[in-house]
């Protein structure tokens, strides 16, 4: 399974407009090579580098029940019938990069699941991770870097 973005290449800089304080729009993502047994997809975007600045991995986006047929998540949108959770900004939906100190690496983790999830809108990353634990068919990552502006 592959997760890519036409907005930035893996391991490279995430453009400014996707930052929390600079537009806060989610980047376009493309998904390919989804396993046959997949029933739905889930996505988590977080910032492990925030551990040094704020003492925890900062959650930027939590999205689940993405149809296995989705090949593109368009910029600033979510696929039909998918559900978003709460970020560490205390908001539901995408919260872009906002490093307080230095350049951070942001990780988009995509999971192929053998089920659809029964989670309500606004659920947290922890609730999502607990729900998918025994249902992961495949996973992949996309990383990007972002520095304070």
Give the integer Cα–Cα distance in Å for 138 and 26.
23
Question: Strand pairing partners for 113?
Answer: 40, 136
pLDDT in tens, 120-137: 999 999 999 999 999 999
3-state secondary structure of 75: coil
- Residue 33's region, left for phi above 0, alpha for psi from -120 to 50, else beta, is left
Domain 2-146, CATH number (from 1.10.510.10, 2.40.10.120, 3.60.70.12, 3.90.280.10): 3.90.280.10
Q: Is the pTM of this model over 0.95?
A: yes
Structure tokens at 99: 């490093």
Domain ranges of the chain: 2-146
Average pLDDT of the residues of the chain: 97
pLDDT in tens, 20-72: 999 999 999 999 999 999 999 999 999 999 999 999 999 999 999 999 999 99
Question: Is residue 149's pLDDT more than 80?
Answer: no
Q: List the one residue out of 61, 128, 52 whose CA is nearest residue 88.
A: 61
């Amino acid at each position: 399974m592959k997760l890519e973005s036409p907005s930035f290449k893996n391991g490279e800089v995430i453009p400014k407009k996707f930052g929390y304080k600079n537009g806060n729009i989610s980047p376009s993502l493309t998904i390919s090579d989804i396993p046959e047994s997949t029933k739905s997809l889930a996505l988590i975007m977080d910032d492990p580098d925030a551990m040094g600045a704020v003492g925890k991995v900062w959650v930027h986006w939590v999205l689940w029940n993405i149809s296995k047929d989705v090949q593109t998540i368009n910029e600033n949108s979510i696929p039909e019938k998918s559900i978003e959770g709460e970020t560490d900004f205390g908001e539901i939906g995408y919260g872009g990069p906002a490093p307080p100190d230095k350049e951070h690496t942001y990780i988009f983790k995509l999971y192929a699941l053998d089920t659809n999830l029964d989670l309500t809108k606004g659920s947290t990353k922890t609730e999502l991770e607990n729900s998918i634990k025994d249902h992961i068919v495949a996973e992949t990552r996309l990383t990007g870097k972002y520095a304070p502006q």
